[in-house]
Amino acid sequence: MKLKTLTIKIQKKLAWVMINRPKKLNALNSETLAELHHVLVSLEEDNKVRVVVLTATGDTAFVAGADIRELADLTPTDGAALSVQGNQKVFDYIEHYNKPVIAAVNGYALGGGLELAMACHLRVFANTAKVGMPETSLGLIPGYGGTQRLPQLVGRGRAMELLLTGDMISAQRAYEIGLANVICPPAALKSKVQELAAAIVKNAPEAQQQLLAAVCAGFDSQTDGYAAETEAFGACFGTDNFVEGIQAFLHRRKPKF
Ligand code: COA
């Protein structure tokens, strides 16, 4: 697929996926969602890539939401279908990814933009970023997991406040309520992400794959998270990473994963 709205760079085990529609503040249109799906599928299979970073070009916006122009003529059935498609192809797909995904939030993350950041496993915010869930100002609600992931991340009361007011909050406030893992000056965003990724990459990828699945299982109402953890824990014992990790410890050397 020839990418029109994304730019990809792979450097030292990190894949940087940059949404590149700065004139529209990187709003998510159907083309961008299709491209994101395509890229996520190929990076998931790429053994050279250990961590995926989702970010955007420009210094104004991460993603200013779903593309409002594309929403204008939708019927209730179309709206529900859009939500199902978006979740399957991008938002739930990221949450259930087999390697860690970090959102590097370089500016506005509104509505679907914040939902995209929340679907990622970790979030690094530039301290100039502004985030919010303004859907009700458009007569809508979030449709890409926002009503579920925001309360999971910040608690129900704080989530309700953000969802009902639709007001934007600062990166500092996002950090205080647990929405951002790290905040930093915009110029340090890349190096902060690299630092976080380096701390992840030193550990066992096969164990991290099991870990991501076990944590996700606990948020799935159909699944017993504790049983999923037991299964994932058991599976680790059959991996090369386990052999290497234990041998390295016993021989007082660093593991090579
Ligand atoms: N969908 C489609 N286009 C969008 C967009 C969105 N979610 N957000 C911004 N844009 C477009 C604007 O229409 C404008 O395009 P134009 O130059 O062709 O008119 C361009 O991006 C720049 O946006 P603009 O509003 O002029 O920038 P601003 O600095 O004045 O305001 C925001 C920035 C983020 C406050 C404002 O763009 C905004 O409120 N966007 C919508 C946020 C939203 O409700 N998201 C949830 C969607 S469900």
User: Is residue 76 predicted with pLDDT exceeding 90?
Assistant: yes
Q: What is the mean pLDDT of residues 72-91?
A: 98
pLDDT tens readout for residues 169-208: 999 999 999 999 999 999 999 999 999 999 999 999 999 9
108 lines ligand 1 (CB under 6 A): yes
- What pLDDT, on the 0 to 100 scale, is given for residue 11? 95
Closest CA to ligand 1's atom 41: 64
Please indicate whether residue 22, judged by its CB atom, sits closer than 6 Å to ligand 1: no
Mutate to test the pocket of ligand 1, among 26, 57, 68 (most ligand atoms within 8 A of CB): 68
> Which of 203, 68, 51 has its CA nearest to residue 134?
68
Q: Tokens 């991340």 correspond to what residue?
A: 153
Instruction: Assess whether the C-beta atom of 142 lies below 6 angstroms from ligand 1.
Output: no
For residues 62 and 110, give the distance between their C-alpha atoms in angstroms, rounded to a whole number: 9
Residue 231 has pLDDT above 90, yes or no: yes
Any ligand 1 atom below 6 A from CB of 184: no
Ranges of each domain in the chain: 6-201, 205-250
CA distance 254 to 257: 9
| 67 CA closest ligand 1 atom index | 1
Q: What was the pLDDT predicted at 93?
A: 98
Reply yes or no on whether the pLDDT at 235 is more than 90.
Answer: yes
Residue 81, pLDDT score: 98
Which residue minimizes the CA distance to atom 39 of ligand 1? Answer: 64
Q: Is 65 in the pocket of ligand 1 (CB under 6 A)?
A: yes
Q: Please state the separation of Cα 163 from the chain's center in Å.
A: 19
The mean pLDDT of the chain is: 97
Tell whether the model's pLDDT for residue 59 goes beyond 90: no
> Using CA atoms, how far apart are residues 27 and 66, in angstroms rounded to an integer?
5
- The DSSP secondary-structure symbol of 45 reads T
Q: With a cut of 90, say whether residue 110 has pLDDT above it.
A: yes
95 in catalytic set: no
Domain boundaries 6-201, corresponding CATH code = 3.90.226.10
Cβ atoms within 10 A of the Cβ of 156, count? 10
The pLDDT value given to residue 236: 98
The DSSP call for residue 58 is S
Q: How far is the CA of 68 from the centre of ligand 1 (A)?
A: 8
Task: Calculate mean pLDDT across residues 31-51.
Answer: 97
229 in catalytic set: no
